[in-house]
Amino acid sequence: MIKIAPTKSIKYLLFIYVAGSLFYATFHVLQLSQSNPPVPRHRSGGRITPRSANDESMFQQQQQQQHVIIPTKIQQYNEHLEQKSLSQQQIQQPYLNAFMMSKVFYSSMGASKNVQPYFFKSQATHSKDDVTISTLVTPNRFHVLARLASNYKGPISATIHIKNDEDGVDALTELNNLMENSPSMQQHVDVHLIVDDYDRQFNMWRNVAKLFAQTEYIMMLDVDFHICTDFRTTTLRQLPKRFPELKQKLDSSHAALVIPAFEYEDQKDGEDWRKFPTTKSKLMQEPIDMFHRAWTRGHGSTNYTHWYQATEPYKVVDYNYSYEPYVIMKKEGTPWCDERFIGYGANKAACLYEIYLSGMEYWVLPEDFIIHQTHHYPEQTRDKERWYNRKLYTNFREELCLRYTRKMVADEEWKTPRADNLKTECAKIKGFSTTVQKMIGDIQEEE
């Protein structure tokens, strides 16, 4: 295992959080002894010790992780609450130990020991058939996360990555203040903290947010979007009655629901979400266009022309491998995002490609939509990075086609509709059909 010498900044981080925890401890003890029933806890203690790899066994490490740096009374109180709120959830053991984490994240960059699930844990218990917004938040967007929490009022699972340096400390301080002052964040947001020096591991961060989401359904979303309609409590509750087949597909991980994304033609109009339309008919009167018109292939498969007239969910028929819609899907039984994609370009499309290839259909919801909020933090281009990821994506698609063909043949799904997406999509790869014919022959000979 790699030994990481505690840098000055780790010490600084530790110091701040030990001090912070002590302060909280005193504060909470005072409150505990005064109030009855006890006030809900709004942070999971000062669990900020970046786990340093050392030569202890995994069991000792596990014990150590539970050994948070807060006085016993508060610790017991925390544990009590934790058990209570987690018992209804699917995740029985959220605090995976470092060894397990190294397997879980083996294809990403050494992040295994640096993931702190539920660094902040939400107070509200959400029913398990709710939809968790699964997202990643960079430090310049914390305020956007707070806004999302107060608008959505449902569960949010957010991965936050910081570096082990002064900026990281500043970011944590800011996040902490925001938490203190935002009841919605305290209620709804689980923050999973990653402290390491590996930048822009977007797909790994996405997977962390999905892994620790506490409901059966997730929506993969970029935090800049404003959720304009109430798909969470309206559309989805109506789905079983109005479209039972689609609901059945959703539940068996055979379909993902697309919420169409829009943006204002004039960026200035997109600054104030309070003026955003909340119904489709209002949306159609606004100077609004599909999201990223300049990169049509990103959202074009949604078919906006069709959407404007649609009154029922419809299936995406013109899939494009660059398609990257925002979707609601089952948490379990759906593919993860490939973590070899690091940095800008193709990372999100790769997630949606694998989902599609695995046999899932994309169904666009007719009444719901999200709108991109104009922001003023710099958009990074990183052309080199995108260029490399494009290359990786080309190879990835071929690899995936072969892998899923092999799998579907072995699972006897090759002749079922489950393989339809794969067959049409992979046929676009040069030489694929010939290879597949040979491969199917080989697989059958092996048997």
- DSSP track, 115-184: EEEEEE--SS---TTSEEEEEEE-GGGHHHHHHHHHHH-S-EEEEEEE-SSHHHHHHHHHHHHHHHH-HH
Q: Which is nearer to ligand NAG, 212 or 307 (CB)?
A: 307
Q: Which is nearer to ligand NAG, 138 or 303 (CB)?
A: 303
Which candidate, 30, 32, 16, 17, places its Cα nearest to that of 69? Answer: 17
Does 292 contact ligand NAG by CB under 6 A?
Answer: no
Residue 188, H or E segment: helix 183-188
At closest approach, how far in Å is the CB of 32 from ligand NAG?
59
Q: Which is nearer to ligand NAG, 92 or 305 (CB)?
A: 305
Interacting residues with ligand NAG between 307 and 326 (CB under 6 A): 317-318, 320-322
Out of 128, 306, 340, 418, the residue judged to bind ligand NAG by CB under 6 A: 306
Interacting residues with ligand NAG between 408 and 427 (CB under 6 A): none
At closest approach, how far in Å is the CB of 303 from ligand NAG?
4
Out of 297, 382, 391, 403, the residue judged to bind ligand NAG by CB under 6 A: 297
Query: Hey, is 265 helix, strand or coil?
Result: coil
Q: Which is nearer to ligand NAG, 43 or 397 (CB)?
A: 397
Query: Hey, is 332 helix, strand or coil?
Result: coil
Token pair 């991980």 is found at: 253
At closest approach, how far in Å is the CB of 316 from ligand NAG?
9
Which candidate, 163, 239, 218, 155, places its Cα nearest to that of 351? Answer: 218
Among the listed ranges 215-223, 273-281, 286-294, 297-305, the one in contact with ligand NAG (CB under 6 A) is 297-305
Query: Hey, is 319 helix, strand or coil?
Result: coil
CA dihedral defined by 160, 163, 169, 175, rounded to 10 degrees? -10
Among the listed ranges 9-17, 20-28, 194-202, 301-309, the one in contact with ligand NAG (CB under 6 A) is 301-309
Inter-residue contact 9 to 169 (CB < 8 Å): yes
Phi, psi of 53 (to 5 degrees): -75, 130
At closest approach, how far in Å is the CB of 424 from ligand NAG?
10
What CA–CA distance (Å, rounded) separates 245 from 254? Answer: 11
At closest approach, how far in Å is the CB of 296 from ligand NAG?
4
Residue 349 per-residue DSSP state: H
Q: Which is nearer to ligand NAG, 304 or 388 (CB)?
A: 304
Residue 365 per-residue DSSP state: -
- Number of residues this chain uses to bind ligand NAG (CB under 6 A): 12
- What count of other Cβ atoms lies within 10 Å of the Cβ of residue 317? 10
Does 293 contact ligand NAG by CB under 6 A?
Answer: no
Residue 232 per-residue DSSP state: I
| Strand order across the beta sheet in which 261-264 lies | 225-227, 370-372, 261-264, 288-290
Q: Which is nearer to ligand NAG, 236 or 426 (CB)?
A: 426
Q: Which is nearer to ligand NAG, 127 or 305 (CB)?
A: 305
At closest approach, how far in Å is the CB of 393 from ligand NAG?
12
Among the listed ranges 197-205, 208-216, 285-293, 294-302, the one in contact with ligand NAG (CB under 6 A) is 294-302
What CA–CA distance (Å, rounded) separates 207 from 130? Answer: 19
Among the listed ranges 46-54, 68-76, 299-307, 367-375, the one in contact with ligand NAG (CB under 6 A) is 299-307
- Contacts for 187 with CB less than 8 Å, ≥ 6 apart: 122, 123, 124, 149, 153
Q: Which is nearer to ligand NAG, 324 or 339 (CB)?
A: 324
Does 428 contact ligand NAG by CB under 6 A?
Answer: yes
Out of 64, 75, 150, 303, the residue judged to bind ligand NAG by CB under 6 A: 303
Q: Which is nearer to ligand NAG, 137 or 283 (CB)?
A: 283
At closest approach, how far in Å is the CB of 397 from ligand NAG?
10
At closest approach, how far in Å is the CB of 344 from ligand NAG?
19
Q: Which is nearer to ligand NAG, 297 or 391 (CB)?
A: 297
- Contacts for 415 with CB less than 8 Å, ≥ 6 apart: none
Q: Enumerate binding residues for ligand NAG (CB under 6 A).
A: 296-297, 300, 303, 305-306, 317-318, 320-322, 428
